[in-house]
Amino acid sequence: MSSSASRQAPRRTAAELLELLASMRFAVSLLVFICLASIVGTVLVQNQPSNNYVNQFGAFWYQVFETFSLYHVYNAWWFLLIMAFLVTSTTLCLVRTAPKMVRDMRSFRQNVRENSLRAFHHRAEFASAQAPEAMAGAAAGLLRQKGYAVRTRTDGEAVLVAAKTGSGNRLGYIFAHTAIVVICLGGLLDSELPIRLQIWLAGKQPLFDNMAIADVPPSGRLGVGNPSFRANILVPEGGQTRSAIVMVDDGALVQPLPFTLGLKKFIVEYYSTGMPRLFASEVEVTDPETGEHFPATIKVNEPLRYKGVTVYQSSFDDGGSTLELTGYTLRGTQSASFPVEGKVGESAKLVAEAAGGNDALKDLTVEFSGFRPINVENFAAARVGAAAPKALREHVASVTGSAARPGQNEDFRNVGPSVQYKLRDASGQAREFHNYMLPVEVDGVPVLLTGVRDNPDQDFRYVRIPADAEDSPREFLALRAALQDPQARALAARRFAMGNRQAAGGGADEVLTGQLQASAERALETFANGGLQSIARFLEGSVAAGEQQRAADVVVKLLGGAVAGLRSVARERAGLPPVPASGPQAEAAHAWNQAAVAALSDLFLYPAPVLLGLKDFHHVQASIFQMSRTPGKNAVYLGCLLLILGVFSMFYIRERRVWLWIKPGGPGAQALMAMTSQRRTMDFNQEFEQLKADMSALPPHHQG
């Protein structure tokens, strides 16, 4: 192969590559890929924590989707690469074709010949007694009246009249393709690309560990002049900040702000359903460069704009409320309580010595994750439901944050504050709990609701603990402790048996009374070792299948009476008066005992040795803001305008061209007219016929 041929081969390859990049089919192919990626980004929720996707799809499909960055499609490297190729392809296409189009728009195509015009489908011939110049002037005047731009050219004895209108149609192509370039550039500028470039090229490293902002190294901080970003920030009442957090995959970068934002007051109003009706933030903005400061109010859809940064009211949260709680032990034969203090967002160590040296609390840490002063719950099901035992998650149906249909508001009640916390053991395992401060009446009994779940993807499962006269769980927990005490169980069984003997008028056989006492004590012991589940297992192993239901009814009735006796023993130990034996108070006590049996059984499924009840609090609100600097939005607005103009031009502006070749003939002149358009529609045919008729009406000539 010669040296000249070897040099021409790379040139041909480069030319072919350039031809491919500038081709329409390549740009359309890229648009198809972008549309498919957009569908994925719409169907699959984007930018969620990794564990959410693992729980939803499983480890295998999570890894497959993560390989292609489907969880953050719009910032994936391949999506940005496709966008870059689309910009390049469209730009090359514009550079190659736009000059030709502009020249064609300005050209009247005066180089046509008579033979060329005879090849047109839409043509007509005229004869006139006027000279060619006079006929050309009359025809040019008519075309100008119809909105055509006209040029004439003399070619020997002949005169060519060239006219055109609707040349702006070609601008539609230029505007539409320019719009694609401008919108893509604006989108790339407002995407994570500037931040990704700083990670790839400038050594920025997202942080994956919790740390104070003051301890963040320079590699974890972006510049104040960062061209574009989207960040979030939480500001408690009375607090202020100059730094926001930019999330990058599962990590974060600190974005310094060109001003200080302080929250003076957070305002929230609720509908009767508990859904927020309005939330707004009264803030103060301080410019550190000039010392200028001014107040502002940020509401939903009413953001603050200052120094190129837009601050949106996104949501609200707890800002570090201080909490006073009472800890109640749930293990052993003693019912002990101890104080616990904490702050939302912080953790505290449970001290076993404070609970009477209860080793079950050793190495337990409580992490306070949330506090809500208002909880509006739907009690429609609780009002109409039976008093039969329910699944734990059916004890209460929370609809806070959702709107009720008209006519249902009577089912919604504010049940007061609640606290949310995690109990973490020495191995690092944790469960989350949600406890209400005030009792709620369910099935006619005031109960304290305490919920538990193993992970955030689950619903809370609630235990209903009957409250005492002081709206506390103390009497129930004293009953729980008595249930674990064999002496208390024996005393309660003896009192239950003697009570039945007295109810029978004292005539009951002592042997039967002893048997009843033994049965009651055995029922309490079985119940103390596993709740109703333990009794069910005992019946399955000792009673024939056909007799189990009848035996269960007897045992449950026996257990209810024994628990009532056990409650009397517990009240005596606590120095409380006996439960009334008759009247409305006795009926309320019976309902309380039934709720206590269900709660005692549920406690065996409650995976914590301690119950934390909210005693007092000092509420601190916090506002969550979303901050963004989006210089590309103006480019996107411009691109949208160009796209609208381009589409309008291409679809609603029709280019039409007319030529008249006028030459001497007979006593005057002979004219040949031809007309063409990009789209030969019915309107174009009618326009040609009208123009032909108008031309034939020009005096003094006749149609040939």
What is residue 3's predicted lDDT score, i.e. its pLDDT? 56
pLDDT digits (tens, 9 = 90+) for 62-85: 888 888 888 888 888 888 888 888
Decide if pLDDT at 504 tops 70.
no
CB 441 within 8 A of CB 433: no
Mean pLDDT of 608-629: 93
Tens-digit pLDDT profile for residues 517-542: 888 889 899 999 988 888 888 888 78
pLDDT attached to residue 539? 82
* Per-residue burial over 265-298, b = 16 or more CB atoms within 10 Å of its CB, e = otherwise: ebeeebeebbeeeebbbbbebeeeeeeeeeebeb
Structure tokens at 283: 């803030």
Q: What is the DSSP letter of 622?
A: E
Pairing of strands 309-318, 621-629: antiparallel
Percent of the chain with pLDDT over 90: 40
Residue 636 sits at the vertex; the CA angle it makes with 260 and 227, to the nearest 5 degrees, is: 35
383 pLDDT band, cuts 50/70/90, is: very low
pLDDT tens, residue by residue, 220-257: 999 998 999 999 999 999 999 999 999 887 789 999 99
Read off the tokens for 501.
Answer: 């003997």
The angle formed by the CA atoms of residues 458, 459 and 461, to the nearest 5 degrees, is: 115
pLDDT at position 6, please?
56
Check residue 389 and give its pLDDT: 34
Consecutive H or E run containing 434? strand 430-436
The predicted model gives 382-393 an average pLDDT of 34
Q: What is the pLDDT of residue 393?
A: 31
Residues in the chain: 704
Predicted pLDDT at 65: 86
380 has a pLDDT exceeding 70: no
**Stronger pLDDT, 31 or 406, i.e. the higher one:** 31
Residue 152, pLDDT above cutoff 80:
yes
Smallest Cα–Cα separation from 281: which of 259, 257, 302?
302
Question: ∠310-316-317 over CA atoms, to 5°?
Answer: 135
**Would you state the pLDDT for residue 221?**
93
SS3 content of the chain, % helix, strand, coil (to 5): 45, 30, 25
Q: Work out the number of other CB atoms within 10 angstroms of the CB of residue 585.
A: 11
Alpha helices in 604-681 (DSSP H): 632-652
Which has the closest alpha carbon to 558: 504, 505, 516? Answer: 516
Q: Which residue has the tokens 């500028």?
A: 189
Other Cβ atoms within 10 Å of 410 Cβ, number: 11
CA 426 to chain CA mean position, Å: 34
Whether residue 407 is predicted with pLDDT greater than 50 in this model: the reply is no
H or E element: which one contains 422? strand 418-424
Among the listed residues 586, 568, 552, the one whose alpha carbon sits nearest the alpha carbon of residue 498: 568
Residue 427: how many other CB atoms lie within 10 Å: 7
pLDDT at 381: 45
Q: Is the pLDDT of residue 632 over 60?
A: yes
Q: Please report, rounded to a whole number, the percentage of residues in the chain having pLDDT higher than 70.
A: 90
- Structure pTM? 0.69
Query: Is 534 in contact with 526 (CB distance < 8 Å)?
Result: yes
Sign of CA dihedral 165, 167, 169, 172: negative
pLDDT value for 357 = 54
For residue 561, pLDDT beyond 60: yes
- How far from chain centre, in Å, is Cα 569? 54
CB-hemisphere CA count at 13 Å for 258? 15
d(CA 392, CA 284): 46
Tens digit of pLDDT for each residue in 338-372?
Answer: 899 999 999 988 875 555 556 667 778 999 999 99
CB atoms within 10 A of CB 378: 20
- Binning pLDDT at 50, 70 and 90, where does residue 398 land? very low
Distance CA 295, CA 500 (A): 75
Residues contacting 542, CB < 8 A, separation 6+: none
Sign of CA pseudo-dihedral 104, 108, 113, 119: positive
Question: Is the omega angle on the peptide bond into residue 700 within 30 degrees of 0, that is, cis?
Answer: yes
Tell me: pLDDT of 9 over 50: yes
pLDDT at 619: 92
Q: CA end-to-end span of the chain, whole Å?
A: 65
At 56 the pLDDT is 82
CA distances from 403 to 77, 279, 412 (A): 40, 16, 11
Q: What confidence tens digit (pLDDT) does each residue in 315-338 have?
A: 888 889 999 999 999 988 888 888
Mean pLDDT calculated for residue range 128-134 = 87
In whole numbers, what is the pLDDT of the chain averaged over residues? Answer: 84
Given a cut of 60, is residue 196 above it in pLDDT?
yes
Question: Which of 88-97, 190-199, 294-303, 452-461 has the highest average model confidence (pLDDT)?
Answer: 294-303
Of 524, 516, 603, nearest in space to 563 by CA: 524
Task: Find, among 364, 374, 424, 380, the residue nearest to 401 by Cα.
Answer: 374
